[in-house]
Amino acid sequence: MSDQETDETLEELPLAALPLDAWHRARGARMVPFAGYEMPIQYEGIIAEHHWTRSHAGLFDVSHMGQLVLSGEGLDAALEAVLPIDLSTLKAGAQRYSLLLDAAGGVLDDLMVSRLADGSLYLVVNGATKWDDIALLREDLPDAITLNHLDDQALLALQGPEAAAVLARHVPEVAGLTFMRFGRFALAGHPVQIARAGYTGEDGFEISLPAAAAAEIADLLCGEPEVKPIGLGARDSLRLEAGLPLYGHDLSPETSPIEAGLTFGINKRRRSTGGFPGAERIIREINQGTQRKWVGLRLEGRLPAREGVQVFAGAAQIGTVTSGGFSPTLGVPIAMAYVASAHAAPGTALEVEVRGKRLAATVVATPFVPHRYHRGS
Amino acid sequence: MPRYYTDEHEWIEVEDDVATVGITDYAQGQLGDIVYVELPEVGALIERGKDAAVVESVKAASDVYAPITGEITEINPALEDNPALVNSSPEDEGWFFRMTIADAGELDALMDEEGYKAFIDSL
């Protein structure tokens, strides 16, 4: 046998170990290269871990992601020149999705921006892109802005319908957080920053904590009967069901956020004022539409269509799959693809071609599995 | 009935002039949850070392190579509805296909059970 897919990254650098490396191995994780690190792809099995997260709570180690703090005089104006975000409406304790774009409006990364109590900003960026992001921000932000890479912080995500009950046993204040809000608390005596957010479509939290405390806190949380450690494999199948894009696959410099349906990532004021990289194209696409759109596909049969598979309307190739796999929740193959806008309406019957076989696929609304975020009453 | 193994983690069981082929328990463990198995058609001629089947796990697609040269005489119909049989019973109910043996000499190059055990212990 041989894998047809290559590893997630083309990094030739030696792989680095995350703070929880030994912790994962002790729990039987299979480790694979990802974003320059050795990371756990699975423990007991992707499908079991996927179902566990949807019905209980899963603990994910996402310490490969970059955690940055920006501070300094004129911070908001300086960062608004780099991101299409409206920082005037980002209040302390709130987190927002944003995009790092190139001059042509292509996506260099997607990220979360949070406003800290002292006015500074906390960013979480993708692991595979963090070094490029840091270099770009250092280059493009004025000298008055300080960029602090929190490389001694780990990041854990606790996701699933039982996550809130579990975490509230240790940090009662999290009951007061709603989706995309965060606060600073103590967890087992350690200072942590907890956001009610995640990448599974479930209610849950992302916990930034000192790397030195990561094993102790991972043990504490996995000691709760509702919690199991979950690998990257299920993280990918969960986010796919939730219709959430994965940078480097669904988003890249060759895609614009408007094609990807991420117009909400271009904050309202910026759609008229511009002043961010790629603004000309982005504003034009918001007003005039795009030639292609990122859509969900539901396939017939059981054969998955993976990244790179071509999408057809009759004889014409009208798109390409960017992410695809088997949905454990729905029991069918699902995929995300860029298709010509004329074929992007939900209900449109298309075909995908896998190893020379045409398979029926229908455009469906995303998320494939409904989000269950805690937005408050 | 002698059972042979390849270094690509397939097993071949020979009964008279028919070989039954599947993947080993080690292989299914490496692949993880299997969601689809694409099998050759009955009557297809397959050549040793060339693609014979594709196994789709949740994460990736993997080729299964023909362990020997021959003609496909039967495929396992149970895998169509229940590909997870390859995970639960890889070396029995989760067999892939049966084939003729064009050249019995090809079997000599394969490992026996003891040899295969030593091989996977060395990985």
Pairwise CA distance, residues A357 & A19, whole Å: 44
Instruction: Read off the amino acid at residue B39.
Output: L
Look at residue A31 and give its three-state secondary structure: strand
Same domain, A158 and A235: yes
Check CB contact under 8 Å for A46 and B55.
Answer: no
**pLDDT computed for residue A40 by the predictor:** 97
Q: Is residue A73 part of a domain?
A: no
**pLDDT computed for residue A8 by the predictor:** 46
Burial of A144 per CB tally in 10 Å (0-12, 13-18, 19+): exposed
Same domain, A335 and A212: no
CATH for A205:
3.30.1360.120
Please answer whether residues A361 and A354 qualify as being in contact, where contact means their C-beta atoms are separated by less than 8 angstroms: no
Q: Which residues of chain A have pLDDT under 50?
A: 3-9, 11
* Residues of chain B neighbouring A236 (CB-CB closer than 8 A): 59
Please answer whether residues A86 and A361 qualify as being in contact, where contact means their C-beta atoms are separated by less than 8 angstroms: no
Pairwise CA distance, residues A141 & B19, whole Å: 67
- Ramachandran class of A301: left when φ > 0, alpha when ψ lies in -120 to 50, beta otherwise: left
Q: Is residue A140 part of a domain?
A: no
Look at residue A349 and give its three-state secondary structure: strand
Outline where chain A has alpha helix (H): 21-26, 46-55, 75-80, 130-140, 163-170, 214-222, 232-241, 268-273, 279-288
* Residues of chain A neighbouring B23 (CB-CB closer than 8 A): 1
Domain ranges of chain B: 3-104
**pLDDT computed for residue A6 by the predictor:** 43
Q: Is residue A76 part of a domain?
A: no
Q: Structure tokens of A113? A: 């921006």
Check CB contact under 8 Å for A355 and B54.
Answer: yes
Check CB contact under 8 Å for A46 and B32.
Answer: yes
* Size of the A and B interface in Cβ pairs below 8 Å: 64
Same domain, A165 and A234: yes
Q: Is residue A141 part of a domain?
A: no
Residue A340 belongs to domain spanning? 291-377
CATH for A342:
2.40.30.110
What lies within 8 Å, CB to CB, of A338 at 6+ separation is: A255, A259, A292, A293, A294, A295, A319, A320, A322
Burial of A140 per CB tally in 10 Å (0-12, 13-18, 19+): middle
By Cβ distance, the residue of B27, B58, B65 closest to A326 is B58
Check CB contact under 8 Å for A1 and B83.
Answer: no
**pLDDT computed for residue B1 by the predictor:** 75
Q: Which CATH number fits domain B3-104: 3.30.70.1450, 3.40.50.12780, 2.40.50.100, 3.40.50.10580?
A: 2.40.50.100
Same domain, A222 and A298: no
Is the CB of residue B66 less than 8 Å away from at least one CB of chain A? no
Domain boundary among A199, A226, A241: A241
Instruction: Read off the amino acid at residue B97.
Output: F
Same domain, A225 and A374: no
Same domain, A53 and A165: yes
Check CB contact under 8 Å for A41 and B9.
Answer: no
| DSSP codes of every residue in A268-291 | HHHHHH--STTHHHHHHHHHH--S
Pairwise CA distance, residues A122 & A147, whole Å: 10
Pairwise CA distance, residues A49 & A329, whole Å: 12
By Cβ distance, the residue of A3, A237, A303 closest to B60 is A3
Beta bridge partners of A208: A155, A193
DSSP one-letter code for A263: G
Pairwise CA distance, residues A327 & A46, whole Å: 11
**pLDDT computed for residue A377 by the predictor:** 65
pLDDT in tens, B36-65: 999 999 999 999 999 999 999 998 899 999
Beta bridge partners of B34: B57
pLDDT in tens, A198-245: 999 999 999 999 999 999 999 999 999 999 999 999 999 999 999 999
**pLDDT computed for residue A12 by the predictor:** 59
**pTM of the shown model:** 0.93
Please answer whether residues A256 and A106 qualify as being in contact, where contact means their C-beta atoms are separated by less than 8 angstroms: yes
pLDDT in tens, A77-127: 999 999 999 999 999 999 999 999 999 999 999 999 999 999 999 999 999
Dihedral over alpha carbons B58, B61, B67, B69 (to 10 degrees): 130
Pairwise CA distance, residues B115 & B120, whole Å: 9
Structural domains counted in chain A: 2
How far apart are the CA of A32 and the nearest CA of chain B, in angstroms?
12
Q: Is residue A256 part of a domain?
A: no
ipTM: 0.84
Check CB contact under 8 Å for A355 and B23.
Answer: no
pLDDT in tens, B3-41: 999 999 999 999 999 999 999 999 999 999 999 999 999
Is the CB of residue B36 less than 8 Å away from at least one CB of chain A? yes
How far apart are the CA of A50 and the nearest CA of chain B, in angstroms?
11
